[in-house]
Chain A
Amino acid sequence: MSDSREGILSRIRSGRAGQPESPAAPPIAPGPAGVPETTDLVDRFVREAAGVGAVVHRATRDGAVDLVGRLLVDAGVRRLVSWEPDDLPIPEALDAAVDRGIQLVEPPLPDGAEPLDRDWTTMAAADAGLTGAAGGLADTGTVILRSGLGRARLAWLLPPLHLVLLYAPFIYPTLPAFISARGELVGRSSHVALVTGPSRTADIEQTLTTGVHGPKVVHIVLVERGEREREPVVESVAGDGVDG
């Protein structure tokens, strides 16, 4: 196997010999390539996310707690797989769900480096997953999720409904802007997912269908700064469908 390694590297080196090295691409300043700083990032995010088929709800902090419980109940959710409360932008959101009689489905307990038992049966029975985003991308309507202790990936992948909480100040104009500001998150988690709308396929005659393997419905609860004293506000935006 190490023979193959050396063979591959030496073939590349002899092919390179005498060839000029192509210069590294000059970096593009992350700001302008996407949304101009002056436009309202939150508005753009809401429009783009709705455009790819997510349902976006804008709420203040207090409004969001109540909203999470209501959305889950309205969707008929009975079993929920959730991230640990401290990993949600609003820890009380989980209590709101439990208070309404929704049963929590536990992911298999991580036991340090011990292998997991990998019986996903209970998790597969969940009707919804509750997570918190590490960031949002305004120009694509994307939420950024990262795995870790207390943060199961299957929560955003397995159930038919995914509810994700996103703090408005975490919204970046573009992917390059996010990577430039928060790129270190990528190495720190084993899995960082950029999720843009519900799971979809167009493999049969390019006919768009949602929910093929992942969630069919994605709710994004966008939590805007509660500094301004005001009543809990909730505003929901759903696209007319998917624009792809």
Chain B
Amino acid sequence: MNPQPVSFHRRISTALADDQLRLALGRTTERFAAKRAAGLASLPDVDAVRDRARAIRLHTLSRLDTYLEQFEAAVSAAGGQVHWAADAKEASAIVLDLARARSVERVVKSKSMVSEEIALNETLIAAGLDVVESDLGEYIIQLAGETPSHIIAPAVHKTREQVGQLFADKFGVPVTDDVGEMTATARSVLREVFLRADMGVSGVNFGVAATGSLAIVTNEGNASLAVTAPRIHVAMMGIERLVPNLDDLAVMLQILARSATGQKLTVYTDLLTGPRRGDPDGPEELHVVLVDNGRSRLVGTEVGEILACIRCGACLNACPVYQQIGGHAYGSVYSGPVGAVLTPSLDDVGPWNTLPDASSLCGACREACPVRIDIPRMLLALRARSVRAGTAGRAVRVGFRLYRWAATRPWLFRRAVAAARWLTELLAADGWVQRLPPPLSGWTRSRDFPVIASRTFSERMRDRAGGAG
């Protein structure tokens, strides 16, 4: 996961200045959030189900090695094959080797965050394979040469007018802003892709340790077609994506769609156990690629809880920062609150040290999370790690060192407060400072600073203590 060569702050400014983006984001995140609330409300005893879902995920993670071995044995028993990939490079190499050994020319993909994470398309395309994304949103951004900006709505940053123009440019169809027409165009183009592909590559929403089954959900049915028509199915799966058994899977499926889109169940929930067995269709071969890529290092650490994530995207829609800047500004595959924890954890905090800062720690993400992951706690832990590692910004490091120096010397602290009070009163209009001098000017660019109170808390406490004694 290479960070973009532009700083996070620069990308944020760019995003905030993009009116089209903010229009699309505004339309979408609001609607998602409302649907999610309605979806969860339709589940009787929703709190009990969420508690159970959380318990299932934490339990699985607490003995992940055992469940992985059980899963591997069950997949093999069903006639599939499991491959283990330590990192992105190995994962892509496994898929490429499979493709080459089986003379694969055409690959159809259904949306998978883990293949985005390991940049699988780039590897396959560079090797001369024809790779087509089949999820409508992914297909749109593949045509546009862009990257996804939302876990479950990858093209959320594009308006219908932009998509209409894109299809006109690529397929020579008339420009339209009718979404139904655009969808029909995509159906006919992608139909051929499904039926002619040699290999279907999918993600996995959940793997079931007891049976070796894979659960894959889509509303469009694109994953269903991608794992049915081609002769080889390759499923890309993060190692943490397991549940112990089918009963647990049923619980997770009850909250996944509700949290993601507000639906009670996704239109197509496919439960796949091994390749075809005399069926008139379905793949001859099933390969499951278990991708680590930094995950195993997180087990048992302060950010290990992020592995419980079920990739529903609810925290993105709930996040006031994401609502303003969208997914691309984060510069990583995983955006929003989950991305701000996952990206620096999977990779290294160094190049991503500013991502955990993109939060006011308001806790909306934790509220929205169906499995109640404590994202704010981990954002704080990563900020602390960044300071300890010396990768925090210079202003933060120097600022806090200065603060500590003053705050541990009461006489100095009192004087500093008095000086700051005098300064803020001097600069203020109507009790608010609208512009602080450098190096603090950045802070007041988009907000006002209050004048320091005429009597501070410690001064008032001292008076009280004096009065009482």
Residues of A within 8 A of B (CB): 1-5, 7-9, 11-28, 32-34, 48, 52, 107-110, 112-113, 115-116, 118, 120-121, 124, 137, 139-142, 147-154, 157-158, 174-176, 178-180, 183, 186-187, 189-207, 209, 211-214, 244
Q: Tell me whether A199 and B264 are in contact (CB under 8 A).
A: no
Chain B contacts for A17, CB-based, 8 A: 300
B272 with A21: CB separation less than 8 A: no
Interface 1/0 per residue, B219-254 and A, CB below 8 Å: 111101101111100000001000010111111011
Q: With A157-B225, A191-B272, A202-B219 in contact, is A151–B279 under 8 Å at CB?
A: yes
**Bound-state Cα–Cα, A5 to B83, Å:** 8
Q: How far is the CA of A115 from the CA of B187 in the complex (A)?
A: 28
Residue pair B187, A212 in contact (C-beta under 8 Å): yes
- Shortest CB-to-CB span from A13 to chain B, Å, is 5
Give chain B residues whose Cβ lies under 8 Å from the Cβ of A28.
48-49, 52, 251
In the complex, how many angstroms separate the beta carbon of A110 from the nearest chain B beta carbon? 5
Q: Indicate whether A8 sits within 8 Å of B250 (C-beta atoms), given known contacts A189-B273, A201-B220, A212-B186.
A: no
Chain B residues with Cβ under 8 A from A108's Cβ?
280-281
Chain A neighbourhood of B62, CB < 8 A: 16, 19-22
What's the Cα separation between A23 and B90 when bound, in Å?
34
Q: How far is the CA of A178 from the CA of B57 in the complex (A)?
A: 22
Contacts A24-B244, A204-B160, A214-B221 known; 16 new A-B pairs at CB < 8 A = A2-B84, A4-B292, A15-B301, A22-B55, A124-B191, A140-B265, A150-B280, A153-B279, A175-B253, A179-B250, A190-B272, A192-B273, A194-B271, A204-B136, A204-B158, A211-B184
Q: Cβ of B65 and Cβ of A13 under 8 Å apart?
A: yes
Given A33, A149, A174, A197, which contacts B278 in the complex, CB threshold below 8 Å? A149
Task: Count chain A CB atoms within 10 A of each CB in B52, B84, B219 and give the residue with the most.
Answer: B219
Q: Which of the listed residues B32, B134, B183 has the most CB atoms from chain A within 10 Å of its own CB?
A: B183
Tell me, yes or no, whether B277 is within 8 Å of chain A by CB: yes
Minimum CB distance partner of B219 in chain A: A200
Q: Note all chain B residues with C-beta closer than 8 A to A142.
A: 265
Contacts of A24 in B (CB 8 A): 55, 59, 244
Cβ-defined contact, B250 with A176, below 8 A: yes
* CB-defined contacts of A209 to chain B, threshold 8 Å: 179-180, 183
Pick the residue among B43, B254, B263, B273 that contacts A187 (CB under 8 A).
B273
Q: Is the CB of A244 within 8 A of B35?
A: yes
Q: How far is the CB of A209 from chain B (nearest CB, A)?
A: 4
The CA-CA distance from A12 to B342 in the complex, in Å, is 17
Chain A contacts for B65, CB-based, 8 A:
9, 12-13, 16
Looking at the complex, which one of A5, A115, A149 makes contact with B284 (CB distance below 8 Å)? A115
User: Across the two chains, which residue of chain A brings its CB closest to B27?
Assistant: A205
Could you tell me the distance in whole angstroms from the C-beta of B166 to the nearest C-beta in chain A? 11
Nearest to A109 among chain B residues (CB) is B280
Enumerate B1-58 residues with CB–CB distance to A below 8 Å: 24, 27-28, 31-32, 35, 43-45, 48-49, 52, 55-56, 58
Interface string of B169-188 (1 = CB under 8 A from A): 00000000001101110110
Tell me the dominant secondary structure on chain A's binding face. loop
Give A11 to B280 CA distance when docked, in angstroms: 42
Q: In whole angstroms, what is the CA distance A207 to B136 when docked?
A: 12
| Least Cβ–Cβ distance between B56 and chain A, in angstroms | 5
A residues in contact with B32, CB < 8 Å: 206
Q: Are B163 and A153 in contact (CB under 8 A)?
A: no
> Which single member of B183, B247, B277 contacts A180 (CB below 8 Å)?
B247
Q: Find chain A residues with CB under 8 A from B284 CB.
A: 115-116
Do B282 and A191 touch (CB < 8 A)? yes
**Inter-subunit contact A25/B272 (CB<8 Å):** no
Question: Which residues does chain A contribute within 8 Å of B279, judged by CB atoms?
Answer: 110, 147-149, 151-153, 190-191
The reply to whether A179 and B265 contact each other, CB–CB distance below 8 Å, is no
In the A-B complex, the 4 residue pairs with the smallest Cβ-Cβ separation, listed nearest first, are A214-B221, A15-B299, A15-B300, A25-B55
Beta-carbon nearest neighbor of A179 in chain B: B250
Q: Which residues on the B side are within 8 Å of A176 (C-beta)?
A: 247, 250-251, 254
- Offer 24 A-B interface pairs, CB within 8 angstroms, sorted by A: A1-B83, A2-B84, A12-B299, A19-B300, A22-B58, A22-B59, A26-B55, A28-B251, A108-B280, A108-B281, A112-B278, A118-B229, A141-B264, A148-B277, A190-B276, A192-B273, A195-B267, A195-B268, A200-B267, A204-B137, A204-B158, A204-B160, A205-B179, A213-B220
A113 vs B282: C-alpha distance when bound (angstroms)? 12
**B61: interface (CB < 8 Å):** yes
Contact: A186 with B213, CB < 8 Å?
A: yes
Report if B298 contacts A (CB, 8 A).
yes
Which residue from chain A places its CB closest to the CB of B93 in the assembled complex? A1
Chain A residues with CB below 8 A from B78, complex form: 187, 190
Q: Tell me the complex Cα distance, A52–B269, Å.
A: 15
Q: Are A213 and B278 in contact (CB under 8 A)?
A: no
Using Cβ atoms and an 8 Å threshold, which residues of chain A touch B137?
201, 203-204
Tell me if A140 and B224 are in contact (CB < 8 A): no
Q: Which residue of chain B has its CB nearest to the CB of A216?
A: B187
B residues 168-211 near A (Cβ < 8 Å) are: 179-180, 182-184, 186-187, 190-191, 194-195, 211
How far does the alpha carbon of A183 sit from the alpha carbon of B253 in the complex, in Å? 14
Is B119 an interface position by the 8 A CB rule?
no
Q: Which of A8, A25, A112, A124 meets B84, CB within 8 Å?
A: A8
Out of B83, B230, B246, name the residue touching A183 (CB < 8 Å). B246
Query: Within 8 Å of chain A (Cβ to Cβ): is B447?
Result: no
B69: interface (CB < 8 Å):
yes
Asked if B290 lies at the interface with its beta carbon under 8 angstroms from chain A, I say: yes
B69 touches A175 (CB 8 A): no
User: In the complex, are the beta carbons of A175 and B265 less than 8 A apart?
Assistant: yes
| Cβ–Cβ < 8 Å partners of A116 in chain B | 231, 280-281, 284
Chain A residues with CB below 8 A from B281, complex form: 107-108, 116, 147, 152-154
